[in-house]
Amino acid sequence: MTLGGYLKDKIILILLNGIGVLLLSLYLLAVRNNRTTVLLIAITWSLVYLIWATADYWRRKLYFGKIDALMKELDQPYLVHECIENSWRLEDQLYREILRKSNKAVVERIYQLEHEQKEYREFIEGWIHEVKLPITQIRLACHNQEHNYSRRIERYLTELDNDVEQALFYARSDEVYKDYIIKETKLQEVVSNVLKKNKYLMIQNQMSVEVECKDTTVFSDSKWLEFILGQILLNAMKYKREGGGLISICSITMNSGIKLTVRDDGIGIPEGEKNRIFDKGFTGSNGRSRGKSTGIGLYLCRKLCLKLGLQISAQSRLGEFTEITLLFPKNSFLSKLKDG
């Protein structure tokens, strides 16, 4: 609370006191009182009011200062009314009661929305699991056929499975902690699983892969890591050059941790769009021209990396390459457990 704000709030009271002093002085002069006496009375009135206003301003400033400090300390500032000390002022008591009722309504609404969101997420997850079952059955049926159209169906199924999986991970992305297990994970196995799952898409897009991740282990969740790498791989195929391309996947051990890079020789990213590729819904000029992008894949990658404690970054040069880097920070505690 500032002094200017306080004076502005008390302007009517200040004017009333000024008018009161003026009227009293005129009356005293009218009944033939000495001017010195009238002046002393006016000064005394003004001085008493000044002392009261100063004390009131200081007391109110301390009161609201404590409330502001409480809000900064609380994890849930909207519950500050529960911590405000009692005040003898009726105005403060009424405002506190209004805050209590208002916040109660807000909290109830939040709980209602969370419950609705939970029900919707559970429905989506259940529906996705139901959809994945016939996809798996159709894929098994295609494996038993040697016709060319069976391979084509498998490619479509892979694309559909990736889209369904993206929806599943998106639904779970806010509650990763409920569905992941951090353990020692071999990057070579994770990469192999991702490549095996998308092999028909890679054949269709005429993509070749070079992998250098032997004997590299990290502490992470293999399932979520496979999803992240799968999205990066799909992006590399989506924005390849005409006729095919090369994807290089390699790991580098550094003092700060382990760096995993996925580099393609595709069409690259325009300079002005590099900082936005991880934004939700951003498709860029490449996505709009090809009509295949939703702007969700890399957004999910960044969101899941943050949840898993990983760092993700991108480098690119238009018309030459795109390189996505995952950094697994070194965890000294887990490393000591491993060595022990």
Q: Walk along the chain (340 residues) in steps of 10 and give the mean pLDDT of each run.
A: 82 88 87 85 89 88 82 74 76 82 82 78 71 72 68 75 77 66 88 89 88 87 90 89 90 89 91 87 75 77 88 91 91 46
Strand duo 207-212 + 245-253: pairing: parallel
Each domain of the chain, given as residue ranges in start order, spans 3-105, 180-339
Cα 223 to chain center, whole Å? 22
List, in order, residues 6 or more apart from 301 with CB less than 8 Å away: 228, 231, 232, 278, 312, 324
- Which residue has tokens 């995993």? 260
| pLDDT for 259 | 93
User: How is 300-336 classified by DSSP, letter by letter?
Assistant: HHHHHHHHHT-EEEEEEETTTEEEEEEEEE--HHHHH
| pLDDT for 340 | 43
| pTM summary value | 0.61
Beta bridge partners of 93: none
How far the first Cα of the chain sits from its last, in Å, is 59
Strand duo 217-220 + 183-186: pairing: antiparallel
| CB count in 10 Å sphere of residue 226 | 19
Which amino acid belongs to residue 101? Answer: K
CATH superfamily of 180-339: Histidine kinase-like ATPase, C-terminal domain (3.30.565.10)
Which amino acid belongs to residue 166? Answer: Q
